[in-house]
Amino acid sequence: MIALSTVGALLPSAVAVASTSYSPAADVYSQASVTAQIGASRWWDAGFTGKGVDVAVIDSGVSPVEGLDQPGKVINGPDLSFESQAPNLTHLDGYGHGTFMAGLIAGHDANLTAPYSKAPADAYRGVAPDARIVNVKAGASDGAVDVTQVIAAIDWTVAHRHDNGMNIRVLSLSYGTNSTQSATTDPLSFAVEQAWRKGIVVVASAGNTGYQRGAGAPGLASPAYNPMILAAGGYDTHGTASFSDDTVGTYSASSAGCGSRCKNPDLVAMGSHLQGLRVPGGYLDTFHPEGILGDRYFRGSGTSQAAAITAGEVALVLQKYPALTPDQVKRFLTNNGQKVPGADSQAQGGGEIALATLATKTPAAYVQNVSPATGGGSLELSRGTDHLNSDGVTLTGAQDIFGLPVDTVALAKAEASGTAWTDGDWLGRNWAGRSWAGDTWSSVAWTGRSWAGRSWADSTWSSATWTGRSWAGRSWAGQNWSGSTWSGRSWADGSWS
């Protein structure tokens, strides 16, 4: 079994109480309510629904639950997770995190019909209901992922952003590590900066460490601490459309004050008590039933959600203004924000994304004055305290999941030149298939051994069975996580913020 020593996910909401009956119409935190409160419905009424904009979601996969099962809604990029070696798990989300995020961004129930702002509350909708999701799976069904898998996923997204008529303009990354090196040299930070410089708006979760200042404060997670990209903190509307009662989420990370963690969140987005799409029988569903809302939904809070909401809002802006650069998008959002009462800039940056205000504004030319990152730093420091363990062997040092050395200076050069991926090879190593098969990137059987010296062919990904129901009413095939030992801390403590 491969486990992650410190893994996390969306936070169980303070108001989350398992419920077998759930009515979105009675919930002030339903997506119907929240999209109206944040002003998304005003953009829909003006004809901007995210159509034509593709959002890459690097996460634990996306399952075709209701709301994400319409033809053409989800394009499957490569599966770079350990479950890519089990054909019945490839691309699917056994954890429940990636599906939740994808739904917040672009969920669209079959009964959600125009005008979307007038649709019934039980018609689930994301912020950009007509955007398309590009599913790039990196995390396994317990959230286990190494930073090299996430970097490889980012690099693939950059290399293939225009494949087959795709238009990947947004990358949503509800992930972060407590890297202990500068954003200038950190390999994960460098990867997202290259995506940004090549025209993709990268939205990363600020982290769930809460407001902390001074010596020892953690600051923003990596890669959100990169000065170029959008770092999203979270706030709570308290169920109203008024700004006056809004508060920054107690979970939402702030800048530390100095050193490598000086950056404030760039903005805050709604991230509290949200109604997300549920993966029945998945990890979160099994181990956190307190979040279950009826048969289809799950409630959670965190900067993961805030990043996803932000990604949806960016998709609306880019449909209206397709020629905007990432720098212009960032300036447009942060210069027109609504300040959260009682919160300082270290907690909220430019404030709440004010879609109603943005609907009346026009973006201006802008280029960020940020010194380019160099990359070339330590993979081990980039991991922070998050480490994979297999058969008692921890993945550490300058190596990937195959136990092969990674020269981060050479990696940075390849990323800058756009050559990190060639067909299905990342840095010359075969991680994925080499072509598209319809709307799915092909898979490949890994050869050789893992960092622990175990043959990939000897893995047990397809030998056991999941307990509980699956999204399609069948049994999951794969590791029986509910009967295994969870080696980490709580699900809210680590990388999936």
Beta bridge partners of 177: 222
CB atoms within 10 A of CB 429: 15
How far is 22 from 24, CA to CA, in rounded Å?
Answer: 6
Q: Catalytic: 459? A: no
User: Burial, 371: exposed, middle or buried (Cβ in 10 Å; 0-12, 13-18, 19+)?
Assistant: exposed
In angstroms, the CA 209 to CA 195 distance is: 26
Burial class of residue 361, CB neighbours in 10 A (0-12, 13-18, 19+):
exposed
345 in active site: no
- Phi/psi of residue 281, nearest 5 degrees: 85, -5
Residue 74, SS3 per DSSP: strand
**Cβ burial, residue 227 (10 Å; 0-12/13-18/19+):** middle
Give CA–CA dist 152/192, Å, rounded.
11
Pick the catalytic residue: 27, 54, 59, 109?
59
Query: 44 near 117, Cβ under 8 Å?
Result: yes
* Residue 391 annotated among the catalytic residues of the structure: no
Q: Residue 442 burial by CB count (10 A; 0-12/13-18/19+): exposed, middle or buried?
A: middle
Identified catalytic residue from 81, 93, 97, 495: 97
Which of 63, 84, 304, 390 is labelled catalytic? 304
Indicate which residues carry an active-site annotation: 59, 97, 304
